[in-house]
Amino acid sequence: MRKPDGKIVLLGDMNVGKTSLLQRYMERRFPDTVSTVGGAFYLKQWRSYNISIWDTAGREQFHGLGSMYCRGAAAVILTYDVNHLQSLVELEERFLGLTDTANADCLFAIVGNKVDLREEGAAESQEEDGHSPGMASGGCASLKVPKQVRPEDAVALYKKILKYKMLDEKDAPAAEQMCFETSAKTGHNVDLLFETLFEMVVPMILRQRSQGPAQTVDITSYKPPGRTKAGCCA
Ligand SMILES: Nc1nc2c(ncn2[C@@H]2O[C@H](COP(=O)(O)OP(=O)(O)OP(=O)(O)O)[C@@H](O)[C@H]2O)c(=O)[nH]1
Ligand SMILES: [Mg+2]
């Protein structure tokens, strides 16, 4: 098997649909999933490059592994469930710190999954939030759907991430380009998500190659003095 040229990692709380998104994209189906243990990856050939896409476990007990999976990542997909505000909050509180081991120029996509469920209950939720009182009068605003996430909330998180990474907004891809709403169930925006990232990762691979040796070291040919060249800022 060829060594991957670039790495993309899916992070996010348990049950948000990371495994389902990856299976929808790679296998073109929406199978029953079981909660992920540890992590697993798929290898995707995109143009002439091999990109590994890592699925991680959202369960708290595997949290410690997250930063290991993120090591050297060219892009991280921070996934939440559009029907559970807390899953977005967790991205900032629990998962963002795990990306410190990713590449310095790592890209971040914020992905709100399960939009197919939101469509069913959006009216109640929006009325409750006071955002869209457009429903027929007299409707009872019962709380059928847990707190929904609005696209603006994801954009706000994206901007916070740029700050956390000390990146200037004008040097990073625009929030509108990096915030997605998807459904692994229907396939909505799933190809768009992965293929947008592949297109952005390819130039990073080329840039890295032109800058010299990769960050990983082949220990069979390891020569200590030659190593000082690698890994420094350009
Ligand atoms: N309706 C709907 N259900 C979804 C969608 N994506 C995932 N699910 C369901 O949500 C549950 C959890 O999905 P997983 O893909 O296993 O979630 P995960 O993020 O990988 O969870 P962990 O592996 O525990 O971190 C499963 O029952 C899926 O069938 C979606 O887009 N729409
Ligand atoms: Mg999973």
The per-residue pLDDT for range 83-126, each reduced to its tens digit, is 999 999 999 999 999 999 999 999 999 999 999 998 655 545 44
Length of the chain: 234
Mean pLDDT, the chain, integer: 85
Q: pLDDT at position 144, please?
A: 52
Q: Residue 56 Cα, ligand 2 centroid: separation in angstroms? A: 6
For the cut 50, the answer to whether the pLDDT of residue 211 exceeds it is yes
Q: pLDDT at position 209, please?
A: 87
pTM reported for the whole predicted model:
0.84
Using a 10 angstrom Cβ sphere, with 0-12 exposed, 13-18 middle and 19 or more buried, the burial of residue 63 is: middle
- 9, 20, 22, 35, best to mutate for ligand 1 pocket (most atoms within 8 Å of CB): 20
Q: Residue 57 Cα, ligand 1 centroid: separation in angstroms? A: 12
pLDDT tens for residues 116-164? Answer: 998 655 545 444 544 443 333 333 444 455 689 999 999 999 999 999 9
CA distances from 106 to 34, 74, 96, 221 (A): 29, 5, 12, 28
Q: Residue 35 Cα, ligand 2 centroid: separation in angstroms? A: 5
CB contact set of 191 (below 8 Å; sequence gap of 6+):
25
- Rg (the chain; Cα; Å): 19
Average pLDDT over residues 55-71: 94
62 lines ligand 1 (CB under 6 A): no
- 19, 53, 55, 148, best to mutate for ligand 1 pocket (most atoms within 8 Å of CB): 19
Integer Cα distance of 176 and 216 in angstroms: 33
Q: pLDDT at position 194, please?
A: 98
